Each structure stands twice: as structure tokens, then as C-alpha cells.
A and B are shown apart, each in its own frame.
Chain A
Amino acid sequence: MLGIEVVFTPATFLLIFFGTIIGVIFGALPGVSSSMAVVLAMTFTYALDPVTSIVFLVAVYCAAITGGGITAILFKIPGTPSSAPTTFDGFPMVQQGYANKALSISLITSALGGIAAAIAMFLLSPQLSKAALKFGSSELFAISFMGLSILTALDEGNVIKTIISALMGLFLATVGMDPIMGHARFTWGNSTLLSGIQMIPVMIGMFAVTQVLKETVKRSSVEDLPGAQRSGVIDKMVSIAELWKMKLTIIRSGIIGTIVGILPGAGATIASFLSYAIEVKTSKNPETYGKGNPRGVAASETANNAATGGAMVPLLSLGIPGGNAAAIMMSALVMKGVQMGPLLLQRQPIYLSSVFVSMMVTNVLMVVVSLVVARAFSKILAIPYSVLGPVIVLFSVIGSFAVNNNTGSVLVMMIAGVFGYAYSKFGFNNAALILGLVLGGMVESNLRRAIMLERGDILAVFSKPITATIMAISIFALLWPIIKPLVFKKKANAVN
């Protein structure tokens, strides 16, 4: 009821509608990821209260993930990375003349995935937050550490660089006042640095400005793609009977997406790839995938939208962002003075119910909005990047400046953007750095507090049952990329 009261006021409902439109458009634009859409939309939340802000940002996030599927299907350009598997079957369907069918499958299954995950979030978050209330400093440290370690394990091809990136984020989080003793660290006498490195300008710089710089060097546009063609083909929307035939695919992908979304560090991209891979493996006709099988579109789009609901579970129940977009939403709330963590849902259940209702409304609204946007999209895509790029920079400037009405934040944002470009160019992981920066304060203060409570006995900190279990899982996740080749090599040798 609380959520309905918040969302169904005219102003908030209009904001959700607006968020859905800009989310679908941003998500569909190549070069604007869902995280970047949330970063750019954050500028609009500065004048809003915390609950309305999160409701709005959630709408943008869900819609951006769906919007990414439109260009993936029509032009073989994934608007967001999580829509990449949608191109495998979506674009061949367009080539065969089934553009409307592919789009309607994508939009309806996205909505179904999103709604299912919102329900899962609503049911799971309070339980998880109740359990988390029993957590002390050592357990909270272990959970934050797990968030970082899983992220590291996910980028298996680049383990060292990802760990370096996460450590860089943790290091940047130490700039400013020591959270326990209040001493200044790495300030070099500069009073601005006393309040620490601001997360929001760094995030905006590393996502938005870095992307504009990448596009400056090498453009990714529709006209660059061979074989891209505008549809113009009249075909029917997907029928209920056809959707019913895909029920197992939708259920399976919804579950995979939600679970992957809940895992800290994982996200919509992994969810959609994993779901697509499982769909192909479990199919009786795997050879039809990649050639225009509607189930391929359904698997990818259901899973990436289900991951949005999953990502909100650790954010709302534990105060740990499940991915980049969740980290940005967390920063937006922290900036407004909201205390994230297990107590949030106990003291202010309005956050969970509002996010739930917002996700439900957005998932229904976005089907209608996306259909309209998809029809108009060949025109929207005609906006040249020479206009879009500088406008993205202006949004980034406003977003950074408005944090504390200081042009210094704009400089920080630009430096972060330039550094982010070099960083990603050399194979480091910007997302890991951001997650390190967001979790840095929590990791440090909880570990130091836990050691203080145990009077310096580090062994006592790590021998608590919950802490030890979580740490064991984290260390396993951290070492898995190193262990995995050895395990598989042994198995291969045994087979030979």
C-alpha cells in the first residue's frame, strides 16, 4: 500500500513515465549503456526526495535494459551490452521479415522477466535484511569483500587487472578523513580532498565521458554495420499461443536472471549470456539458434530484465550494490543522507514497496513506450553522434556540478573520464574500480571496527561462523579463475 500511495500520485507517475521514455531511448542508443542512462538521469533527481529519486532511477534502469533490445533486433547493434545475445536471433528474424514479431517477443518477455524479478525482490529482500540484522562488523566486512571478490572472478580473462582496479577503488576511498580516527589521509593540505573523492563525479566521468572519448576515436554507428537494414516489413505481433509455447524458456530465463542479478558483481549482461547458452544447450534443435529462433530472443530479454529486480535485492536488503547501475542508485541515495544497510528496510519499508510498485508500473509502461519508440527509432538513430556526444558531455557537467554546486567536481569528473579512457584502453576494469570506491568505506570501517572489538585479535574476527563461511566462499571465488584451468586440464588428461 505504501508503494502504491507513493507511485500513484500524479507527479511521481509522470516521473516514472518520463523515466521510462528516457530509459528506453538512452538504452536503445548505441554507446549509452544502462549504467550511463542511470548516471545521466541522476541529474534530474537532485531536486527530488530520496524515495521519488529511487523510484525514478529504477524506472530508467528497467527501461534502458529493455531499450537495448530494440536496436539489437532492428540493426544488430546492442544498445546495452546485456542485449548482445538478443542480436543472435533477433536480427536474423528481422532479415526474414519478422521484425514486429521479434520486437513484440522482446518487449513482452522483458516485461514478464522484470515483473517476476520484482516479485522475487519483494519477497526475498525483507528476509535477507532480517537475517543481515544479526550481522556484526566482521560479517558486514565479509559481505562487502564477497561483492568485490565475485566481481573479480567474473572477469576471468583479466584477473590481475580486475583486482588492481578494485584495489584502486578501495585506495581512492581512503582519500579524506579516516572514518574511525578522523585523521586526514592523502589530502596534501587540500581542504576539498578532506571530504574524500566524490563518487558521483567519478562515476559520471568513468561511464559517460570515457564513452564519449572512445566514440571520438572510433565511432560505432548504424551506417558502420554491414548488412544492417531498416525493417519496413509488415508482419504480425507475437500471439498468446506462441508465447505459451515458450513458457518454459521464459520461466527458466526469469529464474536465471533473478539469481544472477542478486549475486553481487554479476548483472544483466552475464544473465542474458548465461540464459541464452543454457537455452541452446537444453534445446532439442540447437542448430536453429543464431538463425532466427524466437526462443533465443525470449531467453536473452527475459533474463536481462529479470536481473534488474535481482540487482535491487542486495542493494535494498544489505546496502551492497549488485552492479554498476545499483552502485549509482546507492550513491544517489547516500548523497541524500539515506543510511544504506539492513536497517533501511526495517525502519523505512517505503523504499522496498515503492521500488516494487515502480518496477511493476515501468514494466507495463515500457511495453507501450518501447513499441512507439521502436517505430520512431530509425529517425532517432539518425541523430548524429556529433550532436549526441557533446550533449552527453553537457549532461555529465550538470550532473557533476549539481552535486555540491562546485566547478571543482566538474574537473574531477573530466579527469576521471580521461583516466577511465586510459584505464579501459589498457585492459583495466572501470566497473571494478567504481565498485571498490563505493564499497571502500564500508569494507574499511567494518574491518577496523571488528578488529577493535576483538582487541586486535584478527584470528577471532575471521573465525566467527558466518564470517568464516562468507570469507571461504569469497576466497574460492577469487581463486577460481586460477584453479579452473588446472581442474579442467586434469579432466581432459583423464579423458585422453
Chain B
Amino acid sequence: MIFELVFNAALVIFFIYCFFYVGITTPDNTAGQLDGAQWSQGLLAILVILLIVNIIKIIKNKDNVKTKVVSLNIKDFITNKLFIGIVLLLVYSLALSRTGFLLTSFILVFFYSYLLGEKRVIRMILTSALSVIVLYLLFNRALDIMLPRGTGIFRTFALFIESL
């Protein structure tokens, strides 16, 4: 429940900020028109009201839900599968342009397979390498979709794979 409240409260704060931001950053209204800022502000105002209603509902329902003591254990949190999965995905998307599709995807598939319960290392390596290379060549050759090659040595490696 606490996470749900935090999530809703964060959205309320963000939307209130957006409400004022759009008002400041767009030019004044022309008479006889609904301008872009007013439309956005209308949506944001309803959103904030409904989110507050939702927060009140969550708090009211608190009595019906078994109270659970929330203790934030840092170790449990960072070793949580979901947390590791999210970090993997975000790091992957940030590294993709530099290290290229081939290497970054190989690492992602390898570690994500492990996260999903695969423990046989040889199988993980084979699956990762095969799936990444097959998809790379399929999209590169058959559909003319050039996936990121990366820079430097990663680019050279990608060019080598393409030449196969």
C-alpha cells in the first residue's frame, strides 16, 4: 500500500508542476480559441483531482487490508529479481549506441536467462550467441534494418559478422 501511495503522490506532484510549467512556457491565449496550454491544463487539473480521490480511496481501504509492516531492507531490494531485471534493461538501452547490438544484446540475453532461472552456463552462452546473431542477420539481410553497430572495436566486430 505504501508504494502505491508514493506512486500516486509522485504523479500528483509531477502533474501539478506540469500544470504551471505549460502555463509559463506557452504564449498567451488568443480570444475565441481553446489554446494548447488550456487543453493540457484542463487534462492535468482533472488528473490531479482524480489522483487525489484515488489516494483518499487507498487510505480509506487501509483498514480492510491486512496491515503489513514495511521495512526496507536494502540487501533484499537490490537482490530482488525485478530490480535486477529493470537495471539490466535500462543499462542495456543506455549502452546500446556505444557497444552495439551484438555485444550488448549477448550480455542482456545471458544475464536475463540467468535471472529467469537458467543455470546451465554453456546453454546460456549458446542460446545468447545464436539468438542475437540470427536476429541481427535476419533483420540486416532480409529486412534491411541496420541495427546499432557501436563504435570502435564493436563496429569492426559487427562489420565482420555482417560479412559472414
Q: Which residues of A contact B (CB under 8 A)?
A: 43-44, 46-47, 160-161, 163-164, 167-168, 170-171, 174, 178-181, 183-186, 209, 212-213, 215-217, 219, 384-387, 389-391, 393-395, 397-398, 401-402, 405, 407, 410-411, 413-415, 417-418, 421-422, 426, 444, 447-448, 451-452, 455-456
Chain B, residue nearest A402 (CB): B145
B151 within 8 A of A: no
Q: In the complex, A391 Cα to B46 Cα: how many Å?
A: 40
CB distance from B126 to the nearest CB of A (A): 10
Tell me how many residue pairs across A and B have CB atoms closer than 8 Å.
169
Q: In the complex, A452 Cα to B38 Cα: how many Å?
A: 14
Chain A, residue nearest B120 (CB): A386
Tell whether, in the assembled complex, residue B127 and residue A160 are in contact, meaning their CB atoms are under 8 Å apart. Answer: no
User: What are 25 A-to-B residue pairs whose CB atoms are below 8 Å?
Assistant: A46-B145, A47-B145, A164-B47, A171-B15, A171-B40, A174-B40, A178-B35, A185-B26, A213-B85, A215-B116, A216-B85, A384-B117, A387-B113, A390-B108, A393-B109, A394-B105, A394-B135, A397-B105, A398-B147, A407-B93, A410-B93, A413-B93, A414-B90, A414-B93, A456-B31
Residues of B within 8 A of A47 (CB): 143-145
Residues of A within 8 A of B90 (CB): 411, 414-415, 418
Residues of B within 8 A of A455 (CB): 32
CB distance from A130 to the nearest CB of B (A): 30
By secondary structure, the B interface counts as: helix
Contact of B147 among A186, A209, A401, A418 (CB under 8 A): A401
Tell whether, in the assembled complex, residue B50 and residue A163 are in contact, meaning their CB atoms are under 8 Å apart. Answer: yes
Q: In the complex, A163 Cα to B54 Cα: how many Å?
A: 11
Tell whether, in the assembled complex, residue A407 and residue B108 are in contact, meaning their CB atoms are under 8 Å apart. Answer: no
Tell whether, in the assembled complex, residue B43 and residue A174 are in contact, meaning their CB atoms are under 8 Å apart. Answer: yes
| Contacts A186-B21, A414-B90, A448-B34 given; does A178 touch B26 at CB 8 Å | yes
Residues of A within 8 A of B89 (CB): 209, 393, 414, 417-418
Given contacts A390-B112, A452-B34, 5 further A-B contacts (CB under 8 A): A44-B143, A178-B35, A387-B131, A394-B132, A397-B105
CB distance from B87 to the nearest CB of A (A): 10
Q: In the complex, A190 Cα to B82 Cα: how many Å?
A: 30
Residues of B within 8 A of A401 (CB): 96, 145, 147-148
Q: Which residues of B contact A (CB under 8 A)?
A: 3-4, 7-8, 15, 18, 21-22, 25-27, 31-37, 39-40, 43-44, 46-47, 50-51, 53-54, 57, 81-82, 85-86, 89-90, 92-94, 96-97, 101, 105, 108-109, 112-118, 127-128, 131-132, 135, 139, 143-148
Q: In the complex, A451 Cα to B35 Cα: how many Å?
A: 10
| Contacts A398-B147, A410-B93 given; does A170 touch B43 at CB 8 Å | yes
CB distance from B132 to the nearest CB of A (A): 7
| Chain A CB within 10 A, most for which of B36, B89, B92, B147 | B89
The 5 closest A-B pairs by CB, nearest first: A456-B32, A178-B36, A386-B118, A386-B116, A390-B109
Chain A, residue nearest B142 (CB): A47
Q: In the complex, A215 Cα to B82 Cα: how many Å?
A: 10
CB distance from A341 to the nearest CB of B (A): 21
Contact of B93 among A164, A391, A402, A411 (CB under 8 A): A411
Residues of A within 8 A of B108 (CB): 390, 393-394
CB distance from A168 to the nearest CB of B (A): 7
Tell whether, in the assembled complex, residue B33 and residue A384 are in contact, meaning their CB atoms are under 8 Å apart. Answer: no
Q: In the complex, A403 Cα to B51 Cα: how many Å?
A: 33
Tell whether, in the assembled complex, residue B131 and residue A164 are in contact, meaning their CB atoms are under 8 Å apart. Answer: no
Contact of B25 among A184, A212, A394, A452 (CB under 8 A): A184
Tell whether, in the assembled complex, residue A160 and residue B131 are in contact, meaning their CB atoms are under 8 Å apart. Answer: no
CB distance from B158 to the nearest CB of A (A): 14
Residues of B within 8 A of A395 (CB): 135
Tell whether, in the assembled complex, residue A167 and residue B47 are in contact, meaning their CB atoms are under 8 Å apart. Answer: yes
CB distance from A110 to the nearest CB of B (A): 30
Tell whether, in the assembled complex, residue A160 and residue B54 are in contact, meaning their CB atoms are under 8 Å apart. Answer: yes
Tell whether, in the assembled complex, residue B36 and residue A168 are in contact, meaning their CB atoms are under 8 Å apart. Answer: no
Tell whether, in the assembled complex, residue A387 and residue B127 are in contact, meaning their CB atoms are under 8 Å apart. Answer: yes
